[in-house]
Amino acid sequence: MAALHGQQNMIFIPSSVDQEMSKHMYNSLPQEACGVVLGEAAAGGIRISRFQPIRNVAPNPLHHFSLDEAEWIRCIFNEPQLVGIFHSHPQTSPVPSHQDLMALPAYAELIKVYLIGTPALTSKSEPCMHLNGYEILYNVEDPSKSNQQKRYDLQPAQLRMT
């Protein structure tokens, strides 16, 4: 999965997967929607092949997301192609919130891609969204200190719909 690290690579998303995420987001409104994306690292980036919705069990699902633990664990053990997380921001732009960054360490070791969607206004009858993708970066201030806590950041990544 090293395809994204240190490079500005693409995240390739089939339009069918984009539509599935968008539908899930709209069906979850006014709450935040969440799920995982499956795919593989390939030359030039990550190729997403599938979306798996997961129930949002956050205490305040209007403004936060928390993956249902049982569904998340099933994905970890049963989905060898787990590459990322998707969630929505129904009322704000699709950029990482402070809460998103605080929760990132719970997922960061297992995924490479972090996707955030928000409802988009359009004249089409189909639900659609504005989607932003981020690469998960691992930072250590001083690698020689083994007791240092891991820190993760999200760097914008280019999305290409296929």
- The predicted model scores a pTM of 0.86
**What pLDDT sits at residue 3?**
42
Q: Which two tokens stand for residue 62?
A: 């209007």
Other C-beta atoms within 10 Å of 69: how many?
A: 11
Q: Answer yes or no: is 2 within a domain.
A: no
Over the stretch 1-22, which tens digit does the pLDDT of each residue have?
344 444 457 899 999 999 999 9
CATH of the domain at 95: 3.40.140.10
Q: Answer yes or no: is 104 within a domain.
A: yes
Exposed, middle or buried by CB within 10 Å (0-12, 13-18, 19+), for 19? Answer: middle
**What pLDDT sits at residue 4?**
44
Over the stretch 137-159, which tens digit does the pLDDT of each residue have?
877 555 556 655 667 888 899 99
Q: Answer yes or no: is 138 within a domain.
A: yes
Q: Which two tokens stand for residue 78?
A: 């049963």
Q: Answer yes or no: is 1 within a domain.
A: no
Report the C-alpha gap between 111 and 33 in whole angstroms: 18
Into how many domains does the chain fold? 1
Over the stretch 24-76, which tens digit does the pLDDT of each residue have?
999 999 999 999 999 998 778 899 999 999 999 999 999 999 999 999 999 98
For residues 28-64, one letter each, b for 16 or more C-beta atoms within 10 angstroms of the residue's C-beta and e for the rest, the string is beebbbbbbbbbebeeebbbbeebbbbbbebeebebb
Give the residue numbers spanning the domain of 46.
Answer: 10-161
Report the C-alpha gap between 41 and 141 in whole angstroms: 27
